[in-house]
Amino acid sequence: TPVQTDWRVNVLIIVFTEMRDKLRKWREDNHRNSEQIVDVGEELINEHASKLGDDIWIIYEQVMIAALDCSRDDLAWTCLQELKRQFPGSQRVKRLAGMRLEALEKYEDASKQYDSILQDDPTNTAARKRKISILKAQGKSAEAIRELNEYLEQFVGDQEAWHELSELYINEHDYGKAAFCLEELMMTNPHNHLYCEQYAEVKYTQGGLENLELSRKYFAQALKLNNRNMRALFGLYMSASHIAASPKVNATVKKANVKYATWATNQINRAYQVSYARCLL
């Protein structure tokens, strides 16, 4: 009967819309939840391809990358073939083919793929960054750092690259250089509380009274930008406590930092209360 059919079709439409919207949200948030993307994306592609319109191409790309993460070469290959067919000769698709080679650990072939992109288009930043990722995957940290520095001399506004470089430096315990990268990011993104907070963490890790005081200031700044940043709040507590306990500070500085630490403790307690969670501080 007509009413029953409508109900079933409506449910399918709702399910399809939800799945498509989920994928879009994960794309926008740059979420690396690859297993879920493969689950949702594979079903969407297999069952609802006709309803996706032009969205299908970006979904093929998203699902392909997630499939590589999950060692689903079968699915990745399918997506890649669809994209190759629709966009023959595309640099963007060539880069995806390169990523598949990387996933198969065929680093030399992948590198050649990216080199061929760069021959046609020397300013292709995606290909250059993939080559640096290969160095990282091979554990060649020093080379990756060197190449990334060279890249940033040319593409000084690439925030993703500055952030990647800061992480590479942190892993090498080169906190001074990591701080420099985060300073670049803070300059171009003064309202980003995460960069502020990460900079504070690096300064704290570097150690010494001067760096501790800087870290406290930047934890405080991060809190000003986002008063719900728990890392900044805890960081403020830790840095102020350490400064107050230092034999090198005078009574005034000590008193001020005790005040900061106490304020932070109260805020931490309140945050736990609001979450109905137990505060162990």
Partner 1 sequence: MSIKLTTQAYCKMLLHAAKYPHCAVNGLLVAEKQKEKKKDSHSTPILCVDCIPLFHGTLALAPMLEVALTLIDTWCKENKYVIAGYYQANERTKDFRPNQFAEKVGARIAENFSEAAMIMVDSTRFTMGCYEPILAIYDHHENKWKCRDCNADCFEDWCEAQKITSALLEGRSYESLIDFDNHLDDLRNDWTNPEINKSVLHLC
Look at residue 71 and give its three-state secondary structure: coil
Query: Under a CB-based contact definition with an 8 Å cutoff, are residues 171 and 156 in contact?
Result: no
State in angstroms the smallest separation of the CB of 35 from partner 1. Answer: 8
- Distance, CA of 67 to CA of 104 (rounded, Å): 12
State in angstroms the smallest separation of the CB of 235 from partner 1. Answer: 5
- State which residue, 137 or 258, has the beta carbon closest to partner 1: 137
Amino acid at 13: I
- State which residue, 98 or 235, has the beta carbon closest to partner 1: 235
- State which residue, 125 or 206, has the beta carbon closest to partner 1: 206
- Distance, CA of 104 to CA of 35 (rounded, Å): 18
State in angstroms the smallest separation of the CB of 246 from partner 1. Answer: 15
Helices 230-245 and 193-206 sit at what angle, rounded to 10 degrees?
30
| Binding region for partner 1 (CB under 8 A) | 32, 35, 69, 137, 139, 167, 170-171, 173, 200-202, 204-205, 207, 215, 230-231, 234-235, 238-239, 271-272, 275-277, 280-281
- Distance, CA of 268 to CA of 66 (rounded, Å): 38
- State which residue, 27 or 231, has the beta carbon closest to partner 1: 231
- Distance, CA of 195 to CA of 140 (rounded, Å): 26
- Distance, CA of 102 to CA of 166 (rounded, Å): 23
State in angstroms the smallest separation of the CB of 117 from partner 1. Answer: 24
- State which residue, 3 or 281, has the beta carbon closest to partner 1: 281
- State which residue, 19 or 117, has the beta carbon closest to partner 1: 19
State in angstroms the smallest separation of the CB of 21 from partner 1. Answer: 20
Token readout for 86 is 């629709």
Of 234, 219, 149, whose CA–CA distance to 184 is shortest?
149
- State which residue, 15 or 271, has the beta carbon closest to partner 1: 271
Query: CA gyration radius for the chain?
Result: 25
Look at residue 227 and give its three-state secondary structure: coil
State in angstroms the smallest separation of the CB of 24 from partner 1. Answer: 21
State in angstroms the smallest separation of the CB of 242 from partner 1. Answer: 9
Distance separating the N- and C-terminal Cα atoms of the chain: 64
